[in-house]
Amino acid sequence: MDNQDKYYKGLFFGVILGAAAGTIMGLLFAPRKGVDTQMIISGKVRHALDKAAEYYEGTEHEETYSNEAKHRSQEIIANAQDEARKILDEANNIIRDIRGQSKSLEN
């Protein structure tokens, strides 16, 4: 237990010292003033929130994509139904042929 306590204390102090060192280095070597950096970050955050709101609320582009996807999926479903009908018709023809051949063999 004593070793675990020492481990967690060391980890805690290491994290605190690392965060402090990172903050100091960031302030010393920052390429811009703090106000400029805040403006850039807030502008990017605001832009990201606006985009997220547009996607959430739905835009005119979403309707276009949605309609295209819906139209394409309906085409795929219609093609699959047509192919299924063709396969069923062929299967029914094969069954009729087999039945016709079996009847002719019985006679």
State whether 4 and 56 are in the same domain.
no
State whether 58 and 87 are in the same domain.
yes
State whether 41 and 93 are in the same domain.
yes
State whether 78 and 36 are in the same domain.
yes
How many CB atoms are located within 10 Å of the residue 56 CB? Answer: 8
DSSP 25-41: HHHHH-SS-HHHHHHHH
State whether 18 and 43 are in the same domain.
no
Q: Tell me, what's the pLDDT at 17? A: 92
In the predicted structure, residue 92 carries a pLDDT above the cut 70: yes
State whether 11 and 55 are in the same domain.
no
Note down the domain range covering 87: 31-106
Question: Per-residue pLDDT tens for 11-63?
Answer: 898 999 999 898 888 777 777 777 777 788 778 878 887 887 777 666 555 55
State whether 15 and 55 are in the same domain.
no
**Helices (H), strands (E): how many in the chain?**
3, 0
Residues of the chain above pLDDT 70, percent: 82
Mean pLDDT (the chain) is 79
DSSP 59-105: -HHHHHHHHHHHHHHHHHHHHHHHHHHHHHHHHHHHHHHHHHHHHHH
